[in-house]
Amino acid sequence: MGIAWVLFGALIGVSAAGRRGFGTAAGVIGGMLLGPLSILMYFASGDRVKCPQCAEWIQKKARLCPHCRSSL
């Protein structure tokens, strides 16, 4: 059962890393270390993206970056 959680966490980590723009290896390692917690983090963090100008995390619905004030 423990191995299944590790593998499932790794798959969630890869998916989250791809969605966030991180490398696959970082996703696998992070998912394996977090295990079942990675599932909760995946679904809880779905409403934020990086600003294309300053690369800070902002709300997906934002029209103006609160960090660099660029129009999105």
- pLDDT tens by residue, 6-22: 777 777 778 777 777 77
Q: How many residues does the chain have?
A: 72
- pLDDT tens by residue, 27-71: 778 777 777 676 677 676 667 788 889 988 888 888 999 999 998
pTM for this prediction:
0.48
Output the pLDDT for position 38.
67
* Rounded CA separation 41/35 (Å): 10
Output the pLDDT for position 46.
65
**DSSP characters over the chain:** -HHHHHHHHHHHHHHHHHHHT--HHHHHHHHHHHTTHHHHHHHHTTTEEE-TTT--EEETT-SB-TTT--B-
Tokens of 26: 């970082």
